[in-house]
Amino acid sequence: MPETPPARRIVGILRLAAGLTLAVALAFQIIEKVANNDMVAHEYFSYFTVQSSMIAVVALVFGGIVALRLPIDTVLYTMVQMSVFSYAVVTAVVYNVLLRGIPEEGFIESRWPGELMHVWIPLFIALDWFVSPGRPALRWTGLRFVVIYPLAWLAFTMLRGAATGWFPYPFLEPSTGVLSIAVYVIGISVFIVGLASIAIAWSRVRARERERATLAA
């Protein structure tokens, strides 16, 4: 097995630290809600932010181990990381543009877990994608992979919302109108695909640079 470069070991440690920090933030938020009788599990675990954060925890911890052991990430992990990058960035943008500042009702939870999930961890994930070494080139067919989870989440959310009357985000509320919902859904979907396209293009650029450096060595 080829020796893991020092830069890859640093990436591995940072990914593990970010994944464990995010896990602590999720655990703290859950414990705080339960302790203050504010936990409605079937609602809490329905939020895109919470679900995508749980996916990110697994991806970051696994990616940290991969970076510590291998000089180049596997293609499968890179596909997952590309998806996590897209979900994290869209979560940060949607929250900070559309949802930040909306008045809260009832129990007011601690701010730092939400800031980690909506700002700092997405920022780390984005930097990890653009800066970290050892990423293979992805095929453009990977765009089909990135839309699977968001489409499944949206279908489940709208069907359950129609049955229960509860929707996790204001812009999905039927009271806003079908056209408004469609605009938001299409806009966010296009944004996710756009982010994934940028991520794939960047992986291909970095792979070509690595090949040229290898040939020149």
CA distances from 205 to 51, 123, 135, 194, 210 (A): 31, 21, 10, 17, 9
Residue 111 lies in a domain: yes
Number of domains in the chain: 1
Task: Please state, for a pLDDT cut of 90, what percent of the chain lies above it.
Answer: 82
Question: Using 50, 70 and 90 to split pLDDT, how confident is the model at 1?
Answer: low
Q: What is the pLDDT of residues 117-163, one digit of tens each?
A: 999 999 999 999 999 999 999 999 999 999 999 999 999 999 999 99
Q: How does DSSP assign 86-120, residue by residue? A: HHHHHHHHHIIIIITTPPP-S----HHHHHIIIII
Residue 1 lies in a domain: no
Instruction: Tell me which residue range forms the domain holding 148.
Output: 6-216
Q: What is the mean pLDDT of residues 36-50?
A: 93
Q: Does the pLDDT value for residue 101 go beyond 80?
A: no
Q: What is the mean pLDDT of residues 100-123?
A: 85
Q: Does the pLDDT value for residue 217 go beyond 90?
A: no
